[in-house]
Amino acid sequence: VFLFMLPGCLMVIITSWKFTHNAWLIMEGSPDPGGIPYRFLVKGTITVGFTLLSLQGLSLGLHSLLQLIGLEAFEEEKP
């Protein structure tokens, strides 16, 4: 999680931030006549989605780390 997921999410967040910010500033819409009128909302979900994904990865990684060092007990699966 810490080695691949978080750096990958961080890379996507950093690279998508600029064009998402610019799309929100100009309230970007589709140039096509029948296109999406609020395209800036779609672009905003990229940054928000990867931010939430990285928070979930951080939570999972910390939970696993606590289990490995013995500060949190393993849960047994119930059939």
55 has pLDDT over 90: yes
The pLDDT of residue 21 is 95
* pLDDT tier at 75, thresholds 50, 70, 90: confident
Rounded-to-10 torsion of CA 13, 16, 18, 24: -110
Cα 52 to Cα 13: distance, rounded to the nearest angstrom: 10
46 has pLDDT over 70: yes
Higher pLDDT: 65 or 75? It is: 65
pLDDT tens-digit readout, 27-37: 999 888 888 88
Mean pLDDT of 71-77: 72
